[in-house]
Every structure is written in C-alpha cells, then in structure tokens.
Structure 1
Amino acid sequence: MKYRTLGTDPAHRREVSVLALGAMLFGSVTDEKTSFAVLDRYAEAGGNFIDTSDNYAFWVDGSQGGQSEELLGRWRRSRGVGDEIVIATKLGARPLAPGTGYIDNAEGLSAKAIREAAERSRERLGVERTDLLYAHIEDRTVPLRETVEGFAGLVAEGTVGLLGVSNHAIWKVERARALAAAAGLPGYEVLQYQHSHLRPRFDVPGDLFPDGSLGHAGPELLGYLRAEPALTLVAYSPLLAGAYVREDKPLPPDYDHPGTPRRLAVLREVAREAGATVNQVVLAWQIGGALPIVPLAGASSVAQLEENLAAVDLELTPDQRVRLDAAH
C-alpha cells in the first residue's frame, strides 16, 4: 500500500492509504458477512481510510440512515480496531424523519445540528474522536459563520480531528476557509466531490443536485487544488458505479457529450497496453497524478476490492498519462 498525508496541523494530520474504501452500502445492500470480509481484506492489504456518512443508506429502506456507521462500529469492536484505521464520516444530509429526504428535510449545518449529529455518529462508530468529519451538503438556511464555528468547536474539544467539505460551491468553500482563518479556527482541509476520468457536462442537473452539478469536481475545483496545495480531494464515484465496464450500467446523462467516446477510447487503449482493466487505469490515473487526489471506491465483494487494490501498484507511463489527460 502507498500513503499520503491529510492535513497540515501536526496534532491532527493523518497518513492515509492512497485508495479509500467507501462503506456507503455496508449493512444495507451489502450484508454484514460480505462487508466484514471486504473490510478485513482492505485492512490486511494496508488500507486504512474508510468513508461513510450518518445518512447511509436511508434510501434503501426509507429510514434515516446510520446502517453503515453501525456496521463499522460492530466491525471495529469485533476486530479490536483502534486509531490505526482512519474513519471519515459526514453530517448535514441525514433526513430528519423516516420516509423523507435530505433535499427538503435535512438535519442541516446549524451549530446544534452539527454537535448532535457528530455525537450520534461517534456512538454508532464506537469512537471517542472522529478522524475526519465532513459537511455533507450545503445548508443555505444557516449563516456560514455558525457552521464554521460549529465544526471548529468539535476540533477544539478533541472530538474531531480533521474537517472536510463535500458538494458545496467552491466560492462557499473558500469563504468558509477564509472565515476560519480570520478567526484563528481550524477550517476545511479535505474536499470530497465526484471525480473520474470522464468529464461531465455541468449544465445537466442531476437527481442529487437538482439546481446544478455541485457534486462534480470541475475545472474550478481542480484549479482551486492547484492554488491551495495543502488541500486534498477525495474523489467519490471514480468508477461511475460500474458504468465503465458493465453494459447494464449506462453512463449518467451528464456524460452524454462528444468528448466521452474519445476519452473512453484512450482509456481502453491504455488498459490494453498496461494489461490492466479500465477501472484500474482510472484509479491509477487519479492516484499517480499531479494533483492530490484520493479515489474513494466502494466494493460489494472481495473480488471487486482486489481489482481496485491492484491499481495502487499500476504505474502508468508518462506517455500514457499525457494521452489520458489530453483526450477530449
């Protein structure tokens, strides 16, 4: 396994594996036995960066979520796992009542919601401190300063280590970080957005973000990473839920544009040259690129995980990287 550093403060920064494991469907769609097997193999391979959220997976059974965190807590206790495993979770998008959704009934990012949600997550995970805590979605009903101070308060009391943000407009991320810096408070250091080799259109609203594709890591966000080298992007859905390789998984509508076939052709060409799968090339392209990107990939079986783990040691040539970058 290979590792990279998250954060800049020596008191909170962590060395994490360059491939993160997504636990979104653990404890719901993926049963406990399979989930434990995947987690065990990931840890055995040196993986130490697991991602979840307090609302995973509310849409499966009409609940408020929490199944993933609860399963991770059971796995930690049964295996005697300590702080050698970095667990990241998110808050803000948990439905306030069963049978509702986060778009119109989310817990939000008020100081009260942040404190209460963070405490519940720690209980489910069975930890005294959350290694990395994200603001999951925007909350436009709460002053940004209140959110910034709410997260910083958890760091000050020692119940949270690093702070992250997901699915926010980049100007809002920068404003939040500026507010934190001006007040001498810890701010967001990890960004979590959707990012893959294929490039989406940004004028096609999706189901998750009906008012625009705030979830995608577009040119603005990637430019922000170049300007702020202390930040790290954790890239969710790098494999597009299997759409690169599965005929029964069509690409989402926002990838329906003339550039997609050309980038797919180069991906497949490089995969043939490298003796690797297309999925492995996508992950290796992210892991070994110039920007600090950690792909976050889920796995519903140990076999899927093994394929993803092999990408860590896949070395693309400079020529292959140039061709992958340039295709459009």
Structure 2
Amino acid sequence: MFGTTVDERRAFAILDRFVDAGGTWIDTANCYSFWADPSGFGGQSETLLGRWLARRPGVRDRVAISTKVGCEPLEAGRFPETAEGLGAQTIKSGIEQSLRRLGTDRVELYWAHKDFRRTPVEETVGAFGELVNAGLVKRLGCSNFAAWRMERSRRAAADAGVVGYTAVQQHHTYLRPRPGTRPTVVHRFGFYEDELRSYVESHDDIAVWAYTPLLSGAYTRADKPLAEEYDHPGTVARLAALDTVAAELGTTRNHVVLAWMTGDRPSVMPIVGPSTVEQLDEAIAAMEVTLTPEQRSLLDSKA
C-alpha cells in the first residue's frame, strides 16, 4: 500500500527500518495499488520505492527487488475483466515501465502475477525468457497458478531453451479455509494447496513465497475479523493450538504463524505488508522464534 494508504513518510520509515534490521527482499507489483487510488490504476508502490532508492545511495546493492506483471487493469474500475494479462508485448512493456518507476536497471525476480489462460504458455514463457537473456531480470516466478499450469509453463520453457519459473507465490497461512469456498481475499487459484505443495516438494529448484500470511491482522486484532471462509470448527482447533504454543513460548499468534511457516519443509518465505514500523518490528521479532518438534507436531495435527 506504499504510495496510497501508506504515505511517503511512513513508507520511507518502514523501508529504512527494514534495511537497518538486515532485510534484503522487497516485493511489489506494477498494479499496486490500483484499488486504493482514485485513478483506478496502479504504479504508486513502484514509484515510491524508486524515490526511496534514489535518496538512499548504495541501498540498491543491498536489497533484492521483485515485481509483477499481469494484473494491472486496462480500464479503471474493471478488474479482473480488463486485467492486462501475460501476452508477450504486455510483459515487455511491463518490465520497461516497472524499471523506469523503480529507477533501476534490473529486478532480481519477476512474477507472472496471475495465470492468464487466453495466452499460449509458449508466448508467455518465451517473453519472460527474453528478459532474463537481456539481463533485465535474474529469476522468474509465477503467482496464483494451479500446479498443472506451473508444470506446463516450466515444461514449455525447457522445450524452448529459456529460463522457467523457479518460484511460486500463493496465499498461505496457518488457518485453512472451509473446503469448497471461494476466498474473498485471494485469486481463484491463489491457495498453496496440497497438490501444489506436492509438486514443489518434488522439485528442489522451486522457492515458495506466501502473501497475506497474517490475514491482515486477523490473528491478533479484534477489529480485523476472520473472513467467512474460515468460519468452521477446524479454525477453532487451530486457534487453540496457536494459543497453546504462543503461551509456551511467551509470544504472540503472529510470531507462531511466521515461525511455523519459515520452519516448514520446504521452507516458505512469508511476505509481510506492514503499514507501521511497529508492525514491521513484530514480524522481525518472529524470526527469533523457533518451534520445538513437539510444538510443530501439535500445530500440524489439527485438521
């Protein structure tokens, strides 16, 4: 939300604190945050990050940046029906615009933000591969993809002799949604579900990233109720397990969720989106929390 609901002063303070604490990855997207801007279009987050980098000499070499293409609306107020998609020209112009806003000559990771099935995967992976060959992008990833679509894309890239996706970014948290529900906060294929997890486990070259791991504060804040898809008995059992482990460690639900995620096998990188320095500090503190095998077993045993 940098550049929209989080103004420049606060965003710069959060970014400064992140780097001072040893943070190295900053994740954004070309469409952030079209839904929060009166114009109905994105680019605000990348633009703010570009200003921050320009005013912090030397910081660009200390951080890795990932951004995304595919979800910027072509018409204000009409998403997802006018999402830009993953055509070759869209990918090419998308990276050019992102690099200009960020004020940099490359990004360390470029994401296909959302699967776009009207474009042949061969066209999409070919265009992404050209960016890697040109030195504009170091790695590629896909977000909100079904497992079979990721596999088809990786196979198409291999057949074409270009670099394929080596990272996947999905919605993932400790609580599980009620089966059969359409989530209100993620894309249709956005869950890190069992099939995708099995696919990742069988390929040691794929990194897993998780967005909205703390459910926008719902684990700890009374003013942030859980979404409807989490209204089922399994949630009660999982929250009780979280509270048990948090009490044993003298910490918070948020800390336990992040420790559970980063200590998983394969490990999952949680993407936190703090709107204050205090929220960032809480996430940083979670990196000092280590679960015992017994605590992890308790957490994993709840259906």
Q: Could you state the TM-score of these two structures normalised by the residue count of structure 1?
A: 0.89
Q: Deviations over 1:89-139 (max 9, x none)?
A: 0001001133332x1101110000000011100000111011110000111
Check the 8 A contact 2:184/2:227 in 1, yes or no: no
Do structure 1's residue 179 and structure 2's residue 156 form an aligned pair? Answer: yes
User: Contact 2:169–2:211 at 8 Å: present in 1 too?
Assistant: yes
SS at 1:273's partner residue?
helix
Aligned with 1:105: secondary structure? coil
Q: Per the alignment, in what secondary structure is the counterpart of residue 61 of structure 2?
A: coil
2:186 & 2:254 partners in 1: Cα distance? 25
Match of 2:74 in 1: 96
Matched, 1:44 2:20: yes
Report the CA distance between 1:201 and its aligned residue: 2.8
CA–CA separation in structure 2 for the residues paired with 1:207 and 1:199: 13
The match for 2:227 among 248, 252, 273 is 252
* Contiguous gaps of at least 5 residues in structure 2: none
The alignment status of 1:189 with 2:166, answered yes or no, reads yes
SS of the equivalent of 1:271 reads: helix
- Output aligned runs, 1:312-327, within 5 Å: 312-327=287-302
Q: CA-to-partner distance for each residue in 1:68-91, whole Å, 9 max, x for gaps? A: 000100110111222321111000
C-alpha distance in 1 between matches for 2:215 and 2:109? 24
Map 1:60-139 → 2, pairs under 5 A: 60-62=36-38, 63-80=40-57, 81-101=59-79, 103-139=80-116
Q: Secondary structure at the match of 1:201?
A: coil
Instruction: Specify which of 303, 320, 327 is matched with residue 278 of structure 2.
Output: 303
* TM-fit CA distance, 1:182: 2.0
Q: Is the 8 A contact 2:126 2:160 kept in 1?
A: no
Residues 164-209 of structure 1, C-alpha deviations (whole Å, 9 max, x = no match): 0000111111000011112221000010000011112341123466
What are structure 1's unaligned runs of at least 5 residues? Answer: 1-24
What are the superposed Cα offsets for residues 243-266 of structure 1, whole Å, 9 maximum, x if unpaired? 111112111122122211101100
Within-5 A mapping of 1:125-164 = 125-164=102-141
Tell me if structure 2 keeps the 8 A contact 1:231–1:292.
Answer: no
Paired residues in the alignment total: 301
- Compared with structure 1, are the counterparts of its residues 122 and 314 closer, same or farther at alpha carbon in structure 2 (3 Å cutoff)? same
1:59 to 1:289, Cα distance in 2 relative to 1, 3 A: same
| Equivalent of 2:10 in 17, 29, 34 | 34
- Quick check: 2:3–2:44 contact (8 Å CA) kept in 1? yes
Deviation at 1:326, TM superposition (A): 1.0
Report the 3-state secondary structure (helix = DSSP H, G, I; strand = E; otherwise coil) of the residue aligned with 2:161.
coil
SS at match of 2:223: coil
Higher RCO, 1 vs 2 (CA within 8 Å, ≥6 residues apart): 1
1:7 is matched with which residue? none
CA-atom RMSD, angstroms?
Answer: 1.2
Asked if the contact 2:132/2:163 (under 8 Å) is kept, the reply is: yes
Provide the rounded CA distance (Å) in 1 between the counterparts of 2:184 and 2:37: 18
Q: Which amino acid aligns with 1:51?
A: D
Does 1:234 pair with 2:209?
A: yes
Identity score, percent = 47
Cα shift readout 1:12-57 (whole Å, capped 9, x = no counterpart): xxxxxxxxxxxxx011111111111110011001001011000000
TM-score by length of 2: 0.96
Amino acid at match of 2:175: L
Q: Secondary structure at the match of 1:230?
A: coil
Q: What amino acid is aligned across from residue 163 of structure 2 in structure 1? A: P
Aligned equivalents of 1:206, 1:327: Cα separation in 2? 21
Letter of the structure 2 residue corresponding to residue 154 of structure 1: L
Amino acid aligned to 1:93: C
8 Å CA contact 1:96, 1:106 repeated in 2: yes
* Alpha-carbon distance in structure 1 between the residues aligned to 2:278 and 2:179: 34
CA distance in 2, matches of 1:38, 1:310: 15
Query: Equivalent residue of 1:79, what SS?
Result: coil
Matched with 1:198 is 175
